Structure 1
C-alpha cells in the first residue's frame, strides 16, 4: 500500500485506480480458484500439498520457491521499513529497531492463527482511526488540478500503467494464506466471502490513499521518492513538505506503522504455515519454534546486512508472485475439475474462459515487469 503512490506516479490517478481495480478482480477470482482446488481435501491441507498432488513434484518445487521468495522479500521490506520509521520515534539505530520489531511482534505468529486474528482486529481499528484522521486531513486539502494533473495537459498516462501492474499484483498477494483461511472458517463459502471482503476493503483503502496522496503531492515532485526506489521514509518525508499540519503528518506516520505491522504479521502467518507444512514441522512449541526461525530470521539478517536490498528484489517479487497468484491457481482448478467429484461442491465463477483469463493476466504482468527492467517500457522519473 505504501509503495503504490510512487509505483503509480507515472500512471497517476485514473490509470492507477484502473490498474489496481482490474488486479483486485483477477486476484479475488484466483483465490476462489484455490478454494475450489482445495475443496475435496482435508481442512488442514496446504497449498504445497495440493499442488504436489495435482500438478506433480517439479511444478510444486518451483511454486514453493516462488512463494518463499515473495513472502521472504515482503518480510524483508517490512522489517527494514519499520526499522526506519521506529528509528525516528525511539531515537535508536534502525538496525536495533528492526530487531526489536521482529522479536516483539513475530511471537503473535508463533503463538497461533487466533492470536494473529485478534491482534489484526486491533491493528485494523487503529489503522482506521489514524487513517481517517490522517487521510481526512489530506482529503480536505485535495486540489483537483493536482489530483488529475490538469496543469500539464500534454502528459500521457496509460503507458505507465503497465509497469504498475506487478506492484499492484503484489498488493493483493494473499494466496499463500487461502489454506489457512479455509481451515480457520471451516468451509469454502465463508472463506470465499472473507476473501471478497478483504480484497474490497484493501481496494477501497488503496483508492482513498492514492486520491489523498495524488491530490496533495504534485506529480512532478515524485522525483526524490522514485530516486530512492519508492522508499516509504522518502515518501513520508516528501509528503511532509506539503502537509501544513504536524498532527496530520504524525497520523500518517502512525497509519504507516500500523499498515506495515498488520501486513508483517499477515504475510508472516502465511509463510509460517506454508513452511510448517513444507518441512513437516510438528504443531508443538518446539516445532513452531523451528518454523519461526525459518520464517523470520533470514529476512531479518538480510535487513541488517543489506537494508535496501529489498528495493531491487521486490521488483522481481511482482513477477514471481504471478506464478502462485495467477498461473498455479488456474492450472490447479483446471486439473481438479477433471478429477473425481471435481464438478461437485464449491466452484469458482467463469469456467474455462476465466482460467485462461487469469493465466493470461499473470503472464502479461510478468512480461511487463521484465520489459520494465530492460527499459522497454516508459519509466516515469518525476
Structure 2
C-alpha cells in the first residue's frame, strides 16, 4: 500500500510560500498601524485567504488531478477572464521571485563579499534546482527550511523578547497616536503575506484529493500567522516606531530593516540569528512560490513531466525574474504592495467566481464544499475588491502614509 504524504509536509510548503513576504514586508508596512492593528489585519487576512484557497479546491475537484488555474478558469469563466487571471498569476509569481532573488542577492553579497548580481545568479541556479527536480523534493526541503527557520527564529526571538519594552511595543512614546488610519496601506502587503494560492493545485497533486489538501492549507496559514505575530511583537517591542523612518525611506528593503534592528539589539549572536532567519524565510518562499508558478506554467503550456519538459518550464519560471533582478533595483515593500493589489484577482475574485460557477453547474454535488453558502463567496470577493481599491488610492496619494 502506497504511503500517504504527511500533512506536516504540505503545511510546511504552504507556510514557506507565505512566510518570506510577510516576515520581511509586514514590519515596515505595519509601522503606521503598529502592534494591535497589525495583528488585527493579519488575522482577518489569514481567515479570508484560507477560505479562498478552499474555494479553489472546491472548483478544482471536477478536473484532472494535475489541473491548475488555467484549465479550470478557462472552462468555467471563459477565455477573457482566464487571460486576465493568467496575467495576474504570472505577474505576482514573477514579482515575488524577483523580490526574493534581489533580497537574497543583497544579503549573500554582504556575507560573502561578492557582487550582488553574482550572488543572485548563484542563488537562483542552486535553489531552483529543487523545483525542477520534483514536488516531493520541494516538500522535503521545505520541512528542513521550516525547521531551520524555527531554530533561528526561536534564537532571535528569545534574544529580542528579553529586551521587549512594553512602552515601545504599544508606542507610548509616540506623538502620533493614530493607528487605524494606516490599516488600509497595510492590507495589500498582508494579503501578499498569505498568497499561497498558486500552490493550491500543487497540494491537490501532492495528496491526490481535496480534504487533506484543505487541512494542509489551514495548517500552513496557521503556522504563518503564528510566525508573523511573534515576529511583529519582537520587532515592534525593540525598534521604536519613529526609527522605521530610514527603513521606509529605502522602500522597506530587507537589508535596511536588518541594519536598523542590528543598531538597537545589543547582541552580535542575536543579530546574526536574525540575518540567518531572514535568509531562510526568503529561501523557503522562493522555493514555494517557484513551485506554484512552475506547476501553473506547466499546465498552461502543456509541457510534459519529462526532463526536457521540466527544463522548459524552469526557464519560463525563473529566468524572467532573474533578469529583472539583475537589471532593476527596487523597494521591497512597494513591490510587495503591487503584488498584493494584483493578487486580489486570483486570490479572492477568481476563487469566489470559480466556486460560484462550479456550484451552478453541480448543484447536487456531494463532494468537497466550503461552508457558508453564497455569503462566504461574496465576502471573499468584497475583501479582495477593497484591498485593490486601497492600493490604488495609496498610489494616488489619497490614503494616510506613515513616514516615520
- The alignment's TM-score, normalised by the length of structure 2, stands at 0.93
Contact 2:28 2:333 in 1 (8 A): no
CA deviation string 1:241-273 (max 9, x = no partner): 001000000000000000000000000000001
- 1:199 maps to 2:241: no
> Alpha-carbon deviations, 1:65-105, whole Å to 9, x = none?
00000000000000000001001111101110000000111
Q: CA RMSD in A?
A: 1.1
Aligned mates of 2:116, 2:364 — CA distance in 1: 51
Kept in 1, the 8 Å contact 2:253–2:331? The answer is: no
Matched residue, 1:262? 284
Number of aligned residues: 382
C-alpha distance in 2 between matches for 1:62 and 1:310: 25
Give CA deviations for 1:314-369 in whole Å, capped at 9, x if unaligned. Answer: 33211100000000000000110011366321111211011110000000000000
Q: Name the CA distance, whole Å, in 2 between partners of 1:334 and 1:64.
A: 19
User: Any unmatched runs of 5+ in structure 2?
Assistant: 1-22
Q: Which residue, 323, 337, 342 being the options, matches 2:345? A: 323
Answer whether contact 1:54 1:335 (CA < 8 A) is retained. Answer: yes
Deviations 1:145-184 (A, max 9, x none): 0000112365100010111000000010011110110110
Which residue number corresponds to residue 303 of structure 2? 281
- Say whether residues 1:77 and 2:99 are aligned partners: yes
- Could you list the runs of 5+ residues in structure 1 that have no partner in the other structure? none
Find the counterpart in structure 2 of residue 156 from structure 1: 178
Counterparts in 2 of 1:154 and 1:176: CA distance versus 1, 3 Å? closer
Mapped partners of 1:324, 1:190: distance in 2: 22
Equivalent runs, 1:297-312 vs 2, <5 Å: 297-308=319-330, 312=334
Distance in 2 (CA, whole Å) between partners of 1:305 and 1:325 is 29
Find the aligned partners of 1:152 and 1:308 in 2 and give their Cα distance. Answer: 29
**1:364 is the counterpart of 2:381:** no
TM-superposed CA distance for 1:11, in Å, is 0.1
Deviation at 1:307, TM superposition (A): 2.6
Contact 1:48–1:64, Cα closer than 8 Å, also in 2: yes
1:97 counterpart (101, 106, 119)? 119
1:68 corresponding residue in structure 2:
90
Report SS of the residue matched to 1:347.
Answer: coil
Please, which of 18, 24, 27 is the counterpart of residue 5 of structure 1?
A: 27
- Please report how far the alpha carbon of residue 310 of structure 1 lies from its aligned counterpart in structure 2 after TM superposition: 6.3
Ranges of 4+ aligned residues in structure 1 off by more than 6 Å = none
